[in-house]
Chains A and B, each alone.
Chain A
Amino acid sequence: MSRPSARALFVWTIVWFNLVFLALPTVVVIIASFTAGNIVAFPPDGLSLRWYASLFETDSYTDAFLRSLYVAVICTVISLPVGTLAAIAMARYRLRLAGPIQVYLLLPFTIPLIVSGLGMMLVFGEIRILGQLWPVGFAACAINLPFMIWAVAASVNNLDTDLENAAANCGAPPLVTFVTVTLPAVMPGVITGGLLMFILAFNEFIVSLMLVDARIVTLPVLVYNSIRSVITPDLAAIAVVYIVVALVTIWVLDRLVGLEVFLKSK
């Protein structure tokens, strides 16, 4: 009888450990953002929405937020077709480049972002596109694309290999088969991957830092610059904005794909 309870104790210890160390800081930040005082403090010094108001009134914040959004959209728009086609091609056909592609898929786990960022900075400087915003989105796509490919490949590998044969058997020519059967059947993976790319690009810091200048800072870079001077409660409010964006993404994922599908496919 003591065995199950010992195990329960172990499991619950881990659960609480996670809750405390992952969720607690988040909760603290959320509460702190509602402070009425002039410094970040916990517990907050009175309650107000003044720091949120200041966020919306400060052009540098709204501009940076919109720039981050733009970067994230560029990254997602590029990675959707590229990542989807790459994943389907890899899973369905024998490619001559299979070896190099597999190495590429492992890069994000092995190469520090600072290295990729440096490389991008040199290349973009060379072709004179540094100082514009869209290359930041492109860079985020190039660096994070493997995650998109993983997500779609997981979906493709779950498909019956006879699915396309079945479509042909039903009278669908190859291109129609691809559009009406293959693509919709891997849609859960495409949506998952697309949202992942969006959130990764929206949050991207190091590569942004190396590719932007003072005129086009993105939100993470702006936050970083602010931290180096005075830590004011509007930073806590920005943190809450990030939390909200993450929650919205998860909500969209749940609506479109269903979270169980997502958690199981990984």
Chain B
Amino acid sequence: MVRLDGVTKRFGTVTAAEDVSFALHQGEFLTILGPSGSGKTTVLRMIAGFMQPTAGTILLGGRPVSELPPHRRSIGMVFQRLALFPHMTAAGNIAYPLKMRGFPRAEIPKRVERFLALVQLHGLGDRRINELSGGQQQRVAIARALSFEPDLLLLDEPLASLDRKLREDMQLEFRRIQQELGVATINVTHDQREALVMSDRVIVMDGGRVQQAAAPQDAYRQPANRFVAGFIGVTNFLACTVLEAHDGEAEVEIGDHRCAGRSAAGGEAVGRTADAALRAEQVLIGEAGQAIAHADMLVPATVTEVIFEGDRVVYAVDAPTLGGASLRIFDHDPLHHKTRRIGETVTIGWKRRDLMVFPRDA
């Protein structure tokens, strides 16, 4: 459907996107996830045709499109600031691509109605854009991008400006519409939760480069590097030294402790410093001096912060024997677990396979 081959974009000395390659299949929902400035918009704009890559090729439906101006590409886009036409009604906005793309006159009103209904805006077609709420404008933008049934839908953080409740509703709505129409979609976001909720596949970008392309569960379970581990979820990083590494396992020294964990590193990493990563929800808390069920590692610690959030409790603890590290811990079962007090001495622990080791570059 869409393929990018080694696509690079430079603005003077700034490299906004570097050697970006990926493919998107019919009906697939792909999310490009990355912090602000990581090059997400740049990639999207090159696909839409608003700018040309400095190097590399973009193929749409198997054809290279460097010669194809944006209005000849069958792509619908929802812009970050929506870019609805202010002088038209909601229906006028949705009809615009139909008129431009030569749909039969008689068919246009029916189609507009159908797409107004699809985004649940029945009867609001006659409203001007400034007479609609933020969420309604969002829906008009989606309908405008979809009404001509493009081969590809591009979403540039269209939900970023909405409040949380509306954003979560719209995420599900996007997913529903996308599945209903079966249109291949590339969504761009800096919100990891949105990426995990909505996508078939996630591409994590940083500094203009693709860090990992994987299914959401895999990006979460097996982050390719330290950046991905830190960007998806809340992760504790502990400085360590690699003692042994082979067959997907590594033995490391963290402060006064030796522990084992998962690692993609090979023998060349031995002796190097590395980051041992532990997700906040995978660190367990138990009574001081006692073992914790299911935990392979046990380390003494002191509670320094307790935040009760209803469905979970967030702790911060200091672990002097882990090189003085401070860790963040989520307890997702506060009803059945004892809530700790600030200053309390506890034992923290984790399963061996929950520790991930990422050697630092030499």
Interface-facing stretch out of B29-37, B75-83, B224-232: B75-83
Mark contacts of A151-170 with chain B using CB atoms, 8 A cut-off: 1 yes-contact digit, 0 otherwise: 00000000110110111111
Instruction: Pick out which of these stretches binds chain A: B94-102, B104-112, B302-310, B348-356.
Output: B94-102
Is B144's CB within 8 Å of the partner chain A?
A: yes
C-alpha spacing A76/B235, complex, angstroms: 65
Q: A119: CB under 8 A from chain B?
A: no
Inter-subunit contact A166/B75 (CB<8 Å): no
Interface size on A, residues (CB 8 A): 21
Chain B residues, CB < 8 A from A185: 85-87
Question: Would you call B85 and A181 a contact (CB within 8 A)?
Answer: yes
Task: Check: B233 CB closer than 8 A to any chain A CB.
Answer: no
Q: For B83, what are the chain A residues with a Cβ–Cβ distance below 8 Å?
A: 160, 162-163, 165-166
Bound Cα distance A181, B87 (Å) = 8
* Distance A127 CA – B341 CA, assembled complex (angstroms): 93
A160 partner residues in chain B, CB cutoff 8 A: 79, 81-83
Residue A171 at the chain B interface, CB threshold 8 Å:
yes
Which residue, of B49, B70, B96, B97, has the highest number of chain A Cβ atoms within 10 A? B70
Query: A125 to nearest B CB, angstroms?
Result: 45
In the complex, A173 Cα to B86 Cα: how many Å? 19
Q: Is B22 an interface residue (CB 8 A)?
A: no
Per-residue CB proximity of A166-205 to B under 8 Å, as 1/0?
Answer: 1111111110110011001101000000000000000000
Question: Across the interface, which residues of A come within 8 angstroms of B76, CB to CB?
Answer: 169
Determine the distance from Cα of A180 to Cα of B84 in the docked complex, in whole angstroms: 13
Chain B proximity of A187: nearest CB distance (Å): 7
Contact yes or no, B148 A169, CB < 8 A? no
- Nearest neighbor of B97 in chain A, beta-carbon distance: A170
A217 to B56, CA, bound (A): 69
Is B69's CB within 8 Å of the partner chain A?
Answer: yes
A11 to chain B, nearest CB (A): 30
Which residue of the partner chain B has the closest CB to A180?
A: B96
B176 at the interface (CB under 8 A from A): no
Residue of B nearest to A172 (CB): B100
Q: Cβ of A169 and Cβ of B87 under 8 Å apart?
A: no
Chain A residues in 8 Å Cβ range of B96:
167, 170, 172, 180
Q: Verify if B193 is at the interface (C-beta below 8 Å from A).
A: no
Q: Mark B113-134, 1 if CB is under 8 A from A, else 0.
A: 0000000000000000000000
With a CB–CB cut-off of 8 A, which chain B residues contact A168?
Answer: 49-50, 69-71
A168 to chain B, nearest CB (A): 4
- Determine if A187 and B71 form an interchain contact, defined as CB atoms under 8 angstroms apart: no
Q: Which residue of A lies closest to B148 (CB)?
A: A171
Q: Which residues of B contact A177 (CB under 8 A)?
A: 71
Interface membership of chain B positions 132-148, coded 1 if the CB is closer than 8 angstroms to chain A and 0 otherwise: 00000000000011001
Query: B-facing mask of A133-167, CB < 8 A → 1, else 0?
Result: 00000000000000000000000000110110111
Q: Cβ of A184: which chain B residues have Cβ within 8 Å of it?
A: 85, 87
What residues on B are CB-neighbors of A163 within 8 Å? 83, 85
Contacts of A176 in B (CB 8 A): 100
A235 to B227, CA, bound (A): 80
In the assembled complex, the CB of B78 is this many whole angstroms from the nearest CB of chain A, namely 9
Q: In this complex, what residue of B is CB-closest to A160?
A: B83
On A, residues with C-beta under 8 Å from B are 159-160, 162-163, 165-174, 176-177, 180-181, 184-185, 187
Instruction: Give the 9 A-B CB pairs with smallest separation, nearest first.
Output: A170-B97, A171-B100, A166-B83, A162-B83, A168-B70, A171-B101, A184-B87, A168-B71, A172-B100
